[in-house]
């Protein structure tokens, strides 16, 4: 069972947090989230989990929260370089969610490579009508190369895609792997982030995307085999299946 929290959840089955990483890494992440504000961290995180541990009768887990408090003053939040070097992909994504990407990109230096637009349809729930509606919207995708030299990385050029909606004018950024797309098309770069098991390829009915999280509606149940090959979808297939994103 998960005790959920916006910042970091706790898995009661393994009596540890959702990511199997060292406590000092959790502290560095939490310091980034709470902007080094220890009283805010204690009020919103520490007190919350201690109350939850009492409610779930697992007060013996309090020592882990106490350890985070004890380590708080010994570590700083992640630097950009440290965040890029994290090996746990899921935790790495979580850490980057606590970093101001726009500020980081501006500090490192960035060059725009290409821009493409895409007309999309979002499936949105209408509370008044009690049904889903299909809402058209236009998204602009910009492929940028961020300078990796300041991070001490071998790869001096790091591809990132800026996605912004012309309706809301909201933007977000997604890091992409140079080896997974053609290197020029922002649409192909976005599609390359959707990695699936090969057996799923011809059985996906719809894709719903929430940031880096994908939900797949399948035409039939598919159980991937152990060590099954992972593949990416083509940009044509990806955008054809995409029914909602946020």
Residues 38-74 pLDDT 10s: 999 999 999 999 999 999 999 999 999 999 999 999 9
Q: Would you place residue 243 in the very low, low, confident or very high pLDDT band (cuts 50, 70, 90)? A: confident
For residues 52 and 167, state if they share a domain.
no
Q: Indicate the burial class of 29 (C-beta count within 10 angstroms; 0-12, 13-18, 19 or more).
A: buried
What's the domain range around 155? 101-245
Give the per-residue pLDDT at 211.
Answer: 77
For residues 121 and 79, state if they share a domain.
no
For residues 27 and 120, state if they share a domain.
no
The C-alpha angle 91, 96, 102, rounded to 5 degrees, equals 170
For residues 177 and 203, state if they share a domain.
yes
Give the per-residue pLDDT at 137.
Answer: 84
Give the per-residue pLDDT at 157.
Answer: 84
For residues 219 and 119, state if they share a domain.
yes
Query: Domain boundary at 97, 114, 144, which?
Result: 97
Q: How many domains does the chain have?
A: 2
> pLDDT of 134-178, one tens digit each?
888 889 999 999 988 877 776 678 899 999 888 778 888 888 888
For residues 213 and 142, state if they share a domain.
yes
List all residues 6 or more positions away from 26 whose beta carbon is below 8 Å from its beta carbon.
8, 17, 19, 68
Query: Domain boundary at 42, 75, 97, which?
Result: 97
Give the per-residue pLDDT at 106.
Answer: 87
For residues 165 and 51, state if they share a domain.
no
The rounded percent of the chain whose pLDDT value lies above 90 is 61
Contact 233, 191 (CB under 8 A): yes
Give the per-residue pLDDT at 228.
Answer: 92
pTM check: above 0.85: no
Give the per-residue pLDDT at 178.
Answer: 83
Give the per-residue pLDDT at 64.
Answer: 95
Give the per-residue pLDDT at 177.
Answer: 86
For residues 93 and 106, state if they share a domain.
no
Query: Domain boundary at 81, 97, 113, which?
Result: 97
For residues 111 and 214, state if they share a domain.
yes
Give the per-residue pLDDT at 93.
Answer: 85
For residues 106 and 93, state if they share a domain.
no
Contact 8, 30 (CB under 8 A): yes
């Amino acid at each position: 069972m998960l005790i959920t929290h916006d910042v970091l959840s706790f898995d009661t089955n393994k009596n540890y947090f959702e990511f199997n990483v060292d406590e000092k890494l959790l502290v560095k992440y939490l310091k980034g989230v709470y902007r080094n504000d220890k009283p805010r961290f204690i009020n919103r995180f520490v007190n919350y989990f201690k109350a939850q541990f009492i409610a779930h009768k697992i007060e013996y887990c309090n020592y882990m929260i106490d350890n985070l408090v004890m380590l708080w003053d010994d570590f700083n939040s992640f630097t950009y370089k440290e965040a890029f070097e994290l090996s746990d992909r899921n935790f790495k994504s979580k850490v980057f969610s606590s970093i101001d990407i726009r500020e980081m990109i501006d500090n490192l230096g960035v060059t725009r490579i290409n821009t493409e637009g895409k007309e999309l349809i979002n499936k949105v729930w209408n509370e008044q009508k009690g049904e889903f509606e299909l809402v058209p919207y236009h998204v602009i995708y910009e492929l940028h190369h961020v300078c990796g030299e300041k991070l001490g990385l071998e790869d001096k050029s790091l591809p990132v895609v800026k996605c912004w909606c012309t309706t809301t004018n909201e933007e977000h950024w997604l890091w992409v792997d140079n080896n997974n797309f053609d290197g020029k098309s922002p649409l192909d770069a976005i599609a390359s982030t959707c990695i699936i098991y090969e057996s799923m390829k011809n059985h996906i009915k719809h894709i719903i995307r929430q940031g880096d999280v994908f939900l797949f509606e399948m035409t039939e149940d598919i159980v991937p085999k152990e060590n099954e090959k992972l593949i990416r979808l083509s940009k044509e297939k990806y955008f054809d299946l995409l029914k909602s994103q946020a």
